[in-house]
Amino acid sequence: MKKISLIAGVSFFLGAVFFALIFGTSNGVNIVSAEQIGHIDNTPVPINMRSFSFAPLVKRVRPAVVKVISKTIAGGESSYGNSLLERFFRQRRREVTGVGSGFLISSDGYIITNNHVVENAVKVTVKTIDNKEYPADIVGKDVKTDLALLKIDGKKFPFVELGNSSKVEVGEWVLAIGNPLNQDLSVTSGIISAKGRQLDVAEYVDFLQTDASINHGNSGGPLINMKGKVIGINSVIITQSGGSVGIGFAIPSDMAKKIIGDLKTRGSVVRGWMGISIKALLEKEAKEYGLPSAGILIKTVELDSPAKKSGLKKYDFIITINGKRIKTANDLKRIIGNSSPGTTVSLTVLRGRKNTKTKIQVKIGKAPDTIKYNPMGNRGKNTDLGMVLVNNSIALKRQYELTTAKGILVKSVDRNGFASEYGIRRGDIIFGINRTEVGNIAQFKDMLDEIKPGMVIRLWINRNGYESSIRVQLPN
């Protein structure tokens, strides 16, 4: 026993010496306090491997993370039929509270969160680290990337910056901060597990994958790198149990920068468009077409589209865009969709039976879903808002159990139209524009026609008895 104990003691001693040589003070690294580090900057947080701690980083970042509380109205609802309004509630309405996360990106109160956290909210409240609550306006939402921008009134809020997600590498340490399962401002750690993940929940996003624990309530919270920069917005988990199993996904910060910029300036997102329909060919399929590799086959080219104007043709085979190999339809769709209208992209295509390699420059246009709106039946320049309206009345109030007989009832909303982008829903009752009440459709149209195209207005709505305003930027 003594001999065994002696061997064990010697082994432990040698192990300790080895660990000290590898992770000891010879690397010159020590933990410093948050006060020494100061405000968030590009300096990596020093780490001493003998007493590993994220505490200095958390102290710096956590004050900018907020709790997002959304109020929605739940109740039975039927689809429209042949009658004027086959709508509304078969059961008692009830208020439902949802909780998510978000983070401040400016000292004057702009907050990033997920679209699904506030999607159908009639009221949004933000709670900060000092337990103060602020009513929040929804500046804009984008369902296609699951991002939303909120605004609270105030000054000198602590905030974090969006980092460069394109430089993130698999294996890097990250922290997820948020309000999982109603446990406010929880912090979990992990690494970037993978990049470029594609999920059905957001068609324009190549997600970052992380094993940092993400649960319900983390949605909209930041994924932080070791420089204190936000490199992702936590959004989705894959689970069979309903809880975290170490497979979570975040929206890359580089994509969020463009989306949030659009939401801040116009309340909706402008996407790029070429005007082609495509088919992705894998290696085996490509060979059957007499092509040397996988790529994108152009099936049709729309008339008067950017693609047509650039000289792209039916059956051209796209192999690169801006020098990058393209193998899937989603790759092309994301790159074009996330390009700003007016920018030029360079395509390499194979053309004809001889697969002649051709370079084509395409000037990106605006995606149709940002410029086409269903008319409300008026000649005015600002009335094509993608919704059908009817004048409210006492008869409609009684028939459909509305809370008021005043205003204008939204009969239907084009799912891909302008009104839908701003969160207007069928069944909403519009009763005001800016500071003026609106009693009927004629007044509504006259007021819109007096407002310059592109101007921002506030539409006051009654949704199931709750009054709120929606910020809308009129089409140009």
Rg of the chain taking only CA atoms, in angstroms = 27
Q: Could you tell me the strand order of the sheet in which 110-113 lies?
A: 133-135, 123-127, 65-74, 94-104, 110-113, 147-151, 137-142
DSSP state, residue 340: P
Asked if 304 is an active-site residue, the reply is no
Catalytic residue among 70, 101, 116, 339, which? 116
List the beta strands (DSSP E) in 302-377. 317-321, 324-325, 344-351, 356-363, 365-366
Asked if 146 is an active-site residue, the reply is yes
CA angle 442, 448, 451 (to 5 degrees): 145
Cβ proximity of 31 and 47 under 8 Å:
yes
Residue type, 113: T
Catalytic residue among 70, 101, 142, 146, which? 146
**C-alpha separations of 421 from 114, 211, 230, 409, 426 in Å:** 15, 33, 26, 18, 13
- Kindly tell me the burial class for residue 177, based on how many C-beta atoms sit within 10 Å of its own C-beta (0-12, 13-18, 19 or more): buried
Name the pairing type of β-strands 387-391 and 408-413: antiparallel
Torsion angles phi and psi, residue 203, rounded to 5: -75, -15
Asked if 346 is an active-site residue, the reply is no
Catalytic residue among 219, 305, 339, 468, which? 219
- Kindly tell me the burial class for residue 436, based on how many C-beta atoms sit within 10 Å of its own C-beta (0-12, 13-18, 19 or more): exposed
Q: Which of 132, 71, 67, 68 is nearest to 468 (CA)?
A: 71
Name the pairing type of β-strands 436-437 and 429-433: antiparallel
Q: Annotated active-site positions, please? A: 116, 146, 219
